Amino acid sequence: MTGWGPSSVRRDASDEIEGIAIHERAAGADQMVVLYVITDTATPVDPGVLYAAVADDAAARSKIGWRIVSTDAVPIRQMGTAGNIFFQSGGQFTSQAAVAVVYARVDPGSRDASPGAVR
């Protein structure tokens, strides 16, 4: 992805957690957007796995002063079952998804994630 960099906080220098790619981009002073994109395996996305990866990465980021400001989920690819391709009758499932998380750096002396603590 053009303009997106690898994760800056991965302890093992990997840009992936359990099949979930991590991409980040600066979004102004003391803000960044991080995308967590689950690998498409042509099976339904397990949101528990996806959000566990987000939580694990957010915990690592919190140790260096980053806090979650907002999140959004985006289905990237959906699969349909035979016969439902034209009628959209509910036989589809999402096989690839992404979660976008906006982080802000908080004042290093504060453990509070309230808006007043964000630099």
pLDDT in tens, 2-45: 555 555 555 443 466 778 888 888 898 899 999 998 887 777 77
Q: Which long-range contacts (CB under 8 A, 24 or more apart) does 44-52 make?
A: 44/93, 44/94, 44/95, 45/75, 45/93, 45/94, 45/95, 45/96, 45/97, 47/97, 49/18, 49/20, 50/20, 50/97, 50/99, 51/99
pLDDT of the residue at 116: 45
Instruction: Convert the pLDDT of each residue in 54-96 to its tens digit.
Output: 999 999 999 999 999 999 888 776 666 655 556 555 566 666 7
Taking 80 as the threshold, does the pLDDT of residue 107 lie above it?
no
Q: Higher confidence at residue 104 or residue 97?
A: 104
pTM value? Answer: 0.69
Q: What is the DSSP letter of 18?
A: T
Mean pLDDT of 38-53: 81
As beta bridge partners, residue 105 has 66
What is the phi/psi pair of residue 13, to 5°? 65, 15
Phi-psi region for residue 18, left (φ > 0), alpha (ψ -120 to 50) or beta?
Answer: left
pLDDT band with cut points at 50, 70 and 90 for residue 46: confident
Residue with the two structure tokens 């003391």: 30
pLDDT band (50, 70, 90) for residue 117 = very low
| Sign (positive or negative) of CA dihedral 10, 14, 15, 20 | negative
| Dist CA 69 CA 24 (whole Å) | 15
